[in-house]
């Protein structure tokens, strides 16, 4: 039988039962992971690198932007709107079910209804990050904007709100967002539509 100093031909020994499997090297290690960070959370950056491959291949044509509009009058709808935040979620999430939106034709134009799901939202975002993106701030109007890339000459912007709280999925190293379609889309250049059009586009 091999002694403690002999090489182990079957690989490293498993951790002892009294070792906390949730612990990884301290923040001073080469990985820069906190002492209480789990292995799954530590793999978030690797998962993001894999997702970026799909982005680089052009397989994710829809970008998701967090937009916050600040109203100069201190409450939504009063004064002038100013863009306080317009930040994409990176790497680009996978947006599905756009084609499942229902479209209703009315005398005012076309109106889309329904929910869309965004998966692959980086697990490196924290709950505090998401609170900053989606939380209620007096005088600010938060929403999500799904934009299709310009490969077909379109920069269509669709406006959404969160239909449910963000769902962290540890085994997939991501967040899952359920987005509900809203009206009042911005125009292709990012400006607001005339008031008579806002409820339809």
Burial class, 180, CB count within 10 angstroms (exposed 0-12 / middle 13-18 / buried 19+): middle
Task: Find out whether 142 and 131 touch, Cβ atoms under 8 Å.
Answer: no
Is 110 a residue whose pLDDT tops 90?
no
From CA 55, how far away is CA 8, in angstroms rounded? Answer: 42
pLDDT digits (tens, 9 = 90+) for 20-66: 333 333 333 333 334 456 666 678 889 999 999 999 998 998 999 99
Neighbouring-strand partners of residue 68: 85, 142
Mean per-residue pLDDT, 138-155:
83
The H or E element that residue 102 is part of is strand 102-106
Q: Is the pLDDT of residue 128 over 80?
A: yes
Q: How many CB atoms lie within 10 A of CB 145?
A: 19
Domains delineated in the chain? 61-197 (2.40.10)
Per mean pLDDT, which of 157-161, 185-189, 196-200 is the most reliable? 157-161
Residue 138 scores a pLDDT above 60:
yes
| pLDDT value, residue 153 | 67
What residues pair up with 86 in beta bridges, in sequence order?
Answer: 67
Instruction: Please tell me the pTM assigned to this model.
Output: 0.71
Contact 187, 200 (CB under 8 A): no
Contact yes or no for 49/124 (Cβ under 8 A): no
> Is it the case that residue 152 has pLDDT exceeding 70?
no
């Amino acid at each position: 039988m091999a002694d403690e100093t002999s090489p182990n031909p079957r690989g490293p020994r498993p951790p002892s039962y009294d070792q906390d499997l949730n612990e990884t090297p301290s923040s001073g290690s080469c990985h820069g992971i906190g002492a209480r960070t789990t292995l799954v959370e530590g793999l978030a950056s690797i998962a993001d690198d894999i997702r970026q491959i799909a982005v680089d291949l052009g397989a994710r044509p829809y970008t998701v932007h967090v937009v916050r509009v600040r109203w100069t009058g201190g409450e939504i709808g009063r004064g002038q709107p100013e863009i306080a935040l317009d930040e994409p979620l990176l790497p680009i999430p996978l947006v599905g079910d756009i084609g499942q939106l229902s479209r209703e034709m009315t005398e005012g134009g076309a109106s889309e209804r329904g929910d869309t799901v965004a998966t692959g939202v980086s697990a490196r975002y924290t709950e505090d990050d998401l609170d900053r993106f989606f939380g209620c701030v007096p005088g600010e109007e938060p929403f999500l904007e799904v934009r299709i890339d310009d490969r077909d000459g379109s920069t269509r912007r669709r406006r959404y709100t969160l239909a449910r709280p963000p769902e962290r999925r540890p085994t997939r190293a991501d967040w899952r967002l359920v987005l509900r379609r809203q009206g009042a889309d911005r125009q292709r250049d990012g400006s607001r539509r005339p008031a008579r059009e806002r409820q339809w586009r």
